[in-house]
Chains A and B, each alone.
Chain A
Amino acid sequence: METLWYILLLLMISTYLVLDGFDLGVGVLHLFIAKNRQEQKQVIQSIAPVWDGNEVWLIAAGGTMMLAFPAFLSSMFSGFYLPLTMVVWLLLFRAISIELPHYFSDSLWVHFWNIMLFVSSGLLIVILGAALANIFRGVPLNAEGTFFEPLWTDFRISKQTGILDWYTVLSGVTSASIFLHHGSLWLVAKTDGLVQQRARKCATSFWLTTVGLTIVTLIASYVVQPHTKENFATHSWLIFLPLGALFFLAGSLFFRINNWNMAAFLCSSFFMYLLLFSGAAALYPYILPGLNPEYSLTIFNTSPPPEELQTTLYWWIPGVILVGIYFTIMFRSLPKVISVISNQEHH
Chain B
Amino acid sequence: MIDSLLLHRVQFAFTVSYHYLFPQLTMGLALLIFILKSIGLCGHPWADTAARFWLKIFGLTFLMGVVTGIPLEFQFGTNWSQLVKSTGSILGQTLAMEGMFAFFLESTFLYLLIFGEKKLGKMAHWGVSFLLLFGTWLSGYFIVCTNAFMQHPVGYRISEDGVYHLTSIGALLSNPWAIKQYLHTMTGSVITGSFTMSAIAAYYLLKGQHVELTRRYLKVSVIVGLFSSIIAAVPTGDWEAKQVQKHQPIKFAAMEGHFHTEDGAGLILIGQPNMDELKIDNPVIIPKALSFLTHASWNAKVKGLTEYDRELWPDNVELLYFSYHIMAGLGTLFIALMGISAFLLWQRRLYTNRVILWLLMLSLPFPFIANTAGWFTTEIGRQPWVIYGLMKTADGASQNVSQGNVLFTLLGFMGLYLFLSVLYFFLATRIINQGPEPIDTDQPDLATEGGT
Contact = CB atoms under 8 A, between A and B. Distances in A.
B112 A88 contact: no
B89 A79 contact: no
Contacts of A104: 427, 430
B73 A63 contact: yes
Contacts of B203: none
A7 interface: no
A337 B91 CA distance: 42
A316 B409 CA distance: 33
Q: Provide the main secondary structure of the chain A interface.
A: helix
Contacts of B63: 95-96, 99
Contact of A308 (B67, B110, B165, B420): B165
Nearest to B173: A315
Contact of B165 (A42, A52, A305): A305
B7 interface: no
Given A70-B89, A95-B66, A78 B398 contact: yes
A104 B430 CA distance: 9
B439 interface: no
A296 interface: no
A346 interface: yes
Interface string B358-373: 0000000000000000
Nearest to B166: A308
Interface residues of A, number: 70
Interface string A66-91: 11101101111111011011011101
Taking each of A81, A305, A308, which has the highest tally of chain B beta carbons within 10 Å of its own beta carbon? A81
Interface residues of B, number: 68
B77 A56 contact: no
Taking each of A60, A87, A327, A344, which has the highest tally of chain B beta carbons within 10 Å of its own beta carbon? A60
Interface string B68-102: 10110110111101101111111111011111110
B450 interface: yes
B400 A336 contact: no
B81 A75 contact: yes
B74 A60 contact: no
A67 B93 contact: yes
B158 interface: no
B452 A304 contact: no
Interface string B159-190: 00001011001000000000000000000000
A165 to B, nearest CB: 20
B103 A60 contact: yes
A54 to B, nearest CB: 9
A338 interface: yes
Contacts of A344: 444
B412 interface: yes
A329 interface: yes
B446 interface: yes
Nearest to A344: B444
A77 B76 CA distance: 9
B111 interface: yes
Contacts of A346: 444, 446, 449
Interface in A251-299: none
Given A81-B401, A304-B89, A100 B96 contact: no
A297 B321 CA distance: 45
B297 interface: no
Q: Provide the main secondary structure of the chain B interface.
A: helix
A330 interface: yes
A244 interface: no
Nearest to A82: B405
B332 interface: no
A60 B105 CA distance: 12
B353 interface: no
A311 interface: yes
Given A66-B77, A66-B84, A70-B92, A315 B108 contact: no
Nearest to A323: B104
A6 interface: no
Given A52-B107, A337-B452, A315 B169 contact: yes
B355 interface: no
A118 interface: no
A85 B450 contact: no
Contacts of B92: 63-68, 70
Nearest to B89: A304
A146 B399 contact: yes
A304 B156 CA distance: 12
A319 interface: yes
A346 B450 CA distance: 11
B284 interface: no
B423 interface: yes
A78 B112 contact: no
Given A63-B92, A81-B78, A335 B400 contact: no
B369 to A, nearest CB: 25
The 4 A-B pairs with the shortest beta carbon distances in the complex, nearest first, are A70-B88, A77-B77, A63-B96, A67-B92
Interface of A: 42, 45, 49, 52-53, 55-56, 59-60, 62-68, 70-71, 73-79, 81-82, 84-85, 87-89, 91-92, 95-96, 99-100, 103-104, 146-148, 303-305, 308, 311-312, 314-316, 319-320, 322-323, 326-327, 329-330, 333, 335-339, 341-342, 344, 346
Given A65-B92, A78-B79, 16 more contacts: A45-B446, A52-B111, A56-B99, A62-B74, A63-B95, A66-B84, A70-B85, A77-B77, A78-B78, A82-B405, A91-B70, A95-B66, A104-B430, A146-B81, A312-B93, A322-B101
Interface of B: 60, 63, 66-68, 70-71, 73-74, 76-79, 81-82, 84-93, 95-101, 103-105, 107-108, 110-112, 115-116, 163, 165-166, 169, 398-402, 405, 408-409, 412, 416, 420, 423, 427, 430-431, 444, 446-447, 449-452
10 contacts: A52-B66, A56-B99, A66-B76, A66-B88, A74-B82, A78-B78, A78-B79, A146-B81, A303-B89, A327-B104
